[in-house]
Chain A
Amino acid sequence: MPAKETEVTYRAMDADTLSASQYRTIRIRVNDVWHDFALGADLSASSTLSFVLREKLGFTGLKVSCDEGACGACTVIKDGKAVLSCMVLAVECDGHDIQTIEGLPKDDPVVEAFAEQSEPGYGTALQCGYCTPGFVMTARALLNENPAPTLTEVKDALAGNICRCGCYAGIAQAVLRASAKIAETAKTAVARSGV
């Protein structure tokens, strides 16, 4: 989640700062770790966030499939919102918080639900798996905002992602299952705290 620190570090990017940008360092917080990049040396003003995450930091979970904002395979979470990292410039992320799929906890309910999906009638939530990290991150952002979405809300939120294997039925079920897992965890937490 975007920390307070993030807001403090954020500097508005105006035309003047851009013109001097080749001498600047930009800082991006990725999965809770700050990374510094020298503009001009490490990356240019036109470098995309997807390029930086994959090629500079090795976060290869996100995939660059269309590179023009049409498929959602490169989705990451920026300041709590799902964004298409191929459509975000690295310089726009200076001072911002980015979460990639590698930054999700090991037992993330969305990841688990996508992996487990298998009940009769819906198939699996993934086949080739290329679109999966994008779907997982889009679903994660949805559930962060709306932990108990309806099927219609799930379809609406995930309609920007393409799965060419066509596992949409399984994906929708996985998101609903993840939602149920989140509710279950919350219930257990409440029970444990004795409230």
Chain B
Amino acid sequence: MSEGFTQRVPRKFLGKYRPKIDGPEKASGKAQYADDLTIKMRFPDLLYAKVLHSPYPHARIKGFDLSKAKALPGVAAIMSFKDPEFASLKLTNAGWTDCVDTVPWDRMMFQFRDRRVLGEYACWVGDEMGFAVAAESEEIADEALKLIVIDWEILPFVLDPIAAMKPEAPLVHQDLCTTNILSPDPTGGEDVFEDRGDVDADFGKAEVVVEGTSIHHNATQNSMDNWCCLVDWESDQLTVWSNTYAADQLRMHIHEMLGLPLHKIRAIASYVGGQFGRGDTGDQPFFLFTALLARKTGRPVKFRHTRRESFLNSRQPAIYTCKAGAKRDGTITSMYFKSIGNVGAYADLSMFALKFVPKELAEMVLAHIPNLRMESYGVYTNGLPGCMMRGVGNSQFNLIFGHMIDLLAEKLDMDPIDLCVKNFAHEWESLPSKSLDSVLHEGARRIGWKEKRHLPGKGETFEGVKKRGVGFSCHPAWHAEWQEKRRGQVQVAMTLNPDCTVLLNAASIEIGGGSNTCNVLGCAEALSFLGIGVEDIHWSSIVDTNDGLKDCVQTDSAVSYLQSEVMMHSARELKEKLREIAARQLKLHPDQIDFSDGRIVVPAMPELAMTVKELLQKGDMAPVTVNKSMAPDVTLTGIPFFANFAEVEVDTSTGKVTVLKLVVINDCGTVMYASGAEGQQIGGQCMGMGEALTEEIIYDRATGIPLNFNWIDYTIPTMADMPDIDPVLMEVWKGVGEYGACGIGEGTVTCTPRAILNAIYNAIGVRVNDIPIKPEKIIKALGKD
């Protein structure tokens, strides 16, 4: 099926098709996740925590009676929002950082502090609030919550963001805000956060003007590994096992909120069963109430979400409108994007998606559009909080971006591929972008763009009612530039044992993306002068803040190359140390010594036949250790692009859309691990197709209650639903450093919905722009309802 991928620079270990490093451990069921590491057998004294989930979309606790709940046998502690431990805590949010740096409370990226660790207010159905219980079993803890007698003040609620913007709308945070519209913040900027040239004047003189709308709903991450933590707080030492993906940040979160010094907090994490952006950066209040229950009871306390409770946040939903002006020759002269984001009950990182990322895109892809305005409003509602999900803000923006391309191209009677190549490139490069050009033409070839594309709705009809079409969408990997500019220190510790085996500590929590495989391969590659193989390198899935390294957080899939890049430097330093050791042993100058494939090479002594291992066995046999901490270089490299092409079949009698084929093309800079990268490309289509066609959180509008917080009614595509997928890896662009790679995991999802939507338009000649595209929307669009 696949043509496979050939490396630009041949390498010994990296960039190959090969099994995952953790394959045997995971395939045999031996891999241990947070829930496994914290079973009661390992903590016989364990208690289980549960927290009240609000039954109302908007309410306040006026009064309560705990006596019945406290009397339940097996209940160890009940804490309430009235307890001084909670009443004294600072207001917080669940997304302090941009996931790159560890930050304290006062430097949180978006300064919306609207969450209480346990509050008296309920702001959505499911809000964790009011009371937390520790008991001998989860069942007892649940029962105790039911026995708490609560006197509720039920407040009016609002679910629709447009309604929530109106002055008469109920206030989601009546104690904190005077309007549901988020105020401009220092990071996101003003409501109009980008305004260059003169958009209005250009619309007046542009030869072609088009307008479009797109609506992205609240799909949710649905990591299979439900959030889980266990906190043990003995005397002044707190240890937390969890499936966070940012251990160092978790340590800082606890330090800042609970006041323990950093050396008294130990955060341990292992494999995580999928992250996808859930919980934003993980500064979740449940870590704190679990910790306070552990302190109160003096016993280890475990908290784990049920599947229903794991519907904790969603992709930041956004309604985008755009107006674009162009010349007859296809030169885009103006674009005006406006978005209204439903941030749900808590702001967290919403403005990351709504302002920060589009602002980046203004420079990354729209740099050559002279007149550009971007405007955005985040709006509180009494629904599921918006959050990051596999690419913060990208999917939402791409849904309108790809729409405008298709609209403009149609009006200009141009191939949309040509329109893209003509207009889009990074600010540091001139048009056309070689990366974009390569990605789009390769995609076109793989899907059969020229042969299959036809006038909208004018293609062949199959079985009397079925129409087929093709579409695509493209996007820049904007974070590739951002990583280089913004990533802080990336830390790796490498130890060479006297038997020439290696202990690698490239701290990063493996969430599935395969960065651990990349790291081990990268280590072998960097140390190839030692003649070692992958089997000679020890690595661990356990990340422990007591190791003294900041874990490199799995965002932008950047860990796949960032730590390998550092290892190139570690290897150089290690080589220097080995030279000195060899010089002492051989009574030579270090400059006279080199190494090749595990052997010592001294040009002046061609007869010398000594391996590095033999050398290391001669001296005091102390391991040779290199600790490296460095920030990535800053070089103006521009960015690579990626694209998705889709072929669909629409049954015009039922409205059912069947995706026949997906092609996903990524310019990776350097492919670090081909099988893993293709796995990401293929896997991303599952999530992207789900978001486009089936996945949707549905509320009962009368009560504000979400109806489908389960996997029967929230429909994730299964093996039977997925079409053939053609993963295409390319190396056109190159970033900075030895590898100059770019993470691709998040981006594989970004363009899928819009590619499918444009294909649907090509098939039936009618546009549907609010996802998910369920059959009833097609039927309605066709005027058959």
Contact = CB atoms under 8 A, between A and B. Distances in A.
Interface of A: 54-55, 58, 60-68, 70-71, 73, 100-102, 104, 106, 111-112, 114-133, 136, 154-156, 158-172
A162 B306 contact: no
Contacts of B274: 127-128, 130, 164-165
A165 B19 contact: no
Contacts, number: 211
Given A115-B19, A118-B20, A164-B222, A71 B711 contact: yes
A63 B678 contact: no
A6 B726 CA distance: 48
A1 to B, nearest CB: 20
14 contacts: A63-B33, A67-B306, A70-B711, A116-B23, A118-B20, A120-B678, A122-B2, A127-B274, A129-B25, A129-B271, A130-B274, A164-B716, A166-B682, A169-B682
Given A160-B718, A169-B725, A127 B19 contact: no
B28 A118 contact: no
B224 A111 contact: no
Contacts of A62: 29
B680 A123 contact: yes
Contacts of A162: 224, 711, 716, 718
A61 B29 contact: yes
Contact of A70 (B226, B674, B712, B720): B712
Interface string B210-238: 00000000000011111000000000000
Nearest to B745: A127
Contacts of A120: 2-5, 17, 674-675, 678
Contacts of A125: 23, 27
Nearest to B716: A162
B512 interface: yes
A73 B222 CA distance: 14
Nearest to A100: B29
B33 A130 contact: yes
B188 interface: no
Contacts of A160: 718
A70 B524 CA distance: 41
The majority secondary structure among interface residues of chain A is loop
B675 A129 contact: no
Among A62, A73, A126, A158, chain B packs the most CB atoms within 10 A around the CB of A126
A118 B675 contact: yes
Interface stretch (B34-42, B405-413, B767-775): B34-42
A65 B307 contact: yes
Given A116-B19, A130-B512, 14 more contacts: A63-B35, A66-B307, A68-B712, A71-B711, A118-B675, A120-B3, A123-B675, A124-B676, A125-B23, A127-B676, A127-B683, A131-B273, A132-B27, A160-B718
Interface string B44-67: 000000000000000000000000
Contacts of B4: 120-121
Contacts of A133: 29
B679 A63 contact: no
B720 A71 contact: no
Contact of B687 (A116, A136, A166): A166
Interface range, B side: 35 or more
A136 B17 contact: no
B292 to A, nearest CB: 25
Contact of B39 (A54, A123, A165, A169): A54
A164 B223 contact: yes
Contacts of B32: 60
Interface string B704-727: 000000111000111111100111
Among A119, A121, A131, A133, chain B packs the most CB atoms within 10 A around the CB of A121
A158 B716 CA distance: 14
A55 B39 contact: yes
Interface string B142-165: 000000000000000000000000
A128 B271 contact: yes
A151 to B, nearest CB: 10
B684 interface: yes
A70 B307 CA distance: 10
Contact of A129 (B19, B31, B683, B710): B31
B587 interface: no
A65 B271 CA distance: 15
Contacts of A106: 28
B681 interface: yes
Contacts of A130: 33, 223-225, 273-274, 512
B225 A63 contact: yes
Contacts of B685: 166
A167 B39 contact: no
B660 to A, nearest CB: 15
A155 B3 CA distance: 24
Contacts of A172: 719
Contacts of B24: 111, 115
B722 A168 contact: yes
Contacts of A67: 306-307
B276 interface: yes
B26 interface: yes
Contacts of A112: 27
A166 B664 CA distance: 14
A54 B31 CA distance: 14
Contacts of A168: 682, 686, 718-719, 722
Interface in B295-314: 306-307
A123 B685 CA distance: 12
B1 A121 contact: yes
A15 to B, nearest CB: 24
Contacts of A127: 274, 512-514, 676, 679-680, 683
B576 interface: no
A172 B19 CA distance: 16
B15 to A, nearest CB: 12
